[in-house]
Amino acid sequence: MSCPPTASYDFDSPDADVVLLSSEPKSPAHFRVHRSILTIASPFFQDMFSLPQAPSTSTDESQKIPIIPVSETREVLEPLLRFVYPVPDPIITSLDDLNQVLAAAIKYEFEAVVSTLRTFLLSPTFLQASPVKVYSIACQHDLVEEAKIASRYTLSTDLLDLEGVAVEELKRMAAYDYHKLLVLHKKRSEAALEFIRKVDSCEDGAVKCMQCNGSVFTANGPPKWWIEWEKKAKEEIQARPTTDVVFGMDFLYAAARKSGCARCPGSVLESWKILADLKEAIDSLPSTI
């Protein structure tokens, strides 16, 4: 779970006036906390503590503090309270952990904690490594802006060929939310392929190679490297509708080498303006749900 900060706080203060009891059936954790802090941080607890409290009949002073059982485990409750209290924030390195703490923060209306965790959710580490999972978590909690941002990062993922964690995440994602991703990918790939087709269909042939287009019979046709690049680019963009791969030099020169034409590598360089404009056009397409 979340790693505690170096400066530890054990939630065992003697001046605490309420106890939150975690949900473990055996040896639940007792978090001795302060109503004043919870009330300031949470409208949920503010309303709870505004209700009349039954007086304690115990003569033992240690038993006079109200105990409130909660449904969260120790592993969720501790980092949640560390975010609430004026102590160093816990370190969260797992999206699963973040999701559980975020769910609890939303449930108990810890608005400042929710805001912090929304920022954590969009950290580059999470977005780049697990964009589908970030999108799923955002959708689960109706975080519209976060879902939009995460949807852009999913463009580098083939939604029809997910593996491992991403596949498991589909179990938690509503069909409606997954459908929105599929529509985004499909529309963007179709529009991108149309831009490529327009370059290919120019009357005079926008892309030229001195050798491939050196005769009267081939003057207006596309050079061999472009034919190879277009074929591979279509496959890549249909799977991942982004320009990250297809305009990379490795991808372009792989097409030039496969063409078998000695002049095609030079044609790739000479076509930089056409390629740059094409990339810009594709990048300008809608990229979020």
Q: Is residue 128 part of a domain?
A: no
Calculate what percentage of the chain has a pLDDT beyond 70: 89
What pLDDT sits at residue 6? Answer: 39
Q: Is the pLDDT of residue 5 over 70?
A: no
Q: With 0-12 CB in 10 A as exposed, 13-18 as middle and 19+ as buried, what is 171?
A: exposed
Residue 75: give its domain's CATH number. Answer: 3.30.710.10
Q: Is residue 156 part of a domain?
A: no
Pick from 90, 118, 137: which residue ends a domain? Answer: 90
Predicted confidence (pLDDT) per residue in 104-114, tens digit: 999 999 999 99
Least confident residue range of 30-34, 164-168, 214-218, 230-234: 214-218
> Which residue, among 90, 120, 98, 93, has the nearest Cα to 6 in the 3D structure?
90
Q: d(Cα 121, Cα 119) in Å, to the nearest integer?
A: 5
At residue 91, the 3 state secondary structure works out as strand
Pick from 41, 69, 90: which residue ends a domain? Answer: 90
Q: Is the pLDDT of residue 60 over 60?
A: no
Separate counts of helices (H) and strands (E) for the chain: 14, 3
Q: Determine the structural domain holding residue 246 and report its residue range.
A: 187-283
Which secondary structure element, helix H or strand E, spans residue 33, and what is its range? strand 30-33
Pick from 90, 118, 139: which residue ends a domain? Answer: 90
What pLDDT sits at residue 227? Answer: 92
Q: Is residue 179 part of a domain?
A: no
Q: pLDDT-derived band of residue 200, with 50, 70 and 90 as boundaries?
A: confident
Q: Is the pLDDT of residue 37 over 80?
A: yes
Q: Is residue 61 part of a domain?
A: yes
Phi, psi values for residue 99, rounded to 5°: -60, -40
Q: Is residue 145 part of a domain?
A: no
Least confident residue range of 4-13, 219-228, 246-255: 4-13
> Which residue, among 34, 31, 29, has the nearest Cα to 15 in the 3D structure?
34
Q: d(Cα 29, Cα 197) in Å, to the nearest integer?
A: 64
Q: Is residue 148 part of a domain?
A: no
Q: pLDDT-derived band of residue 169, with 50, 70 and 90 as boundaries?
A: confident
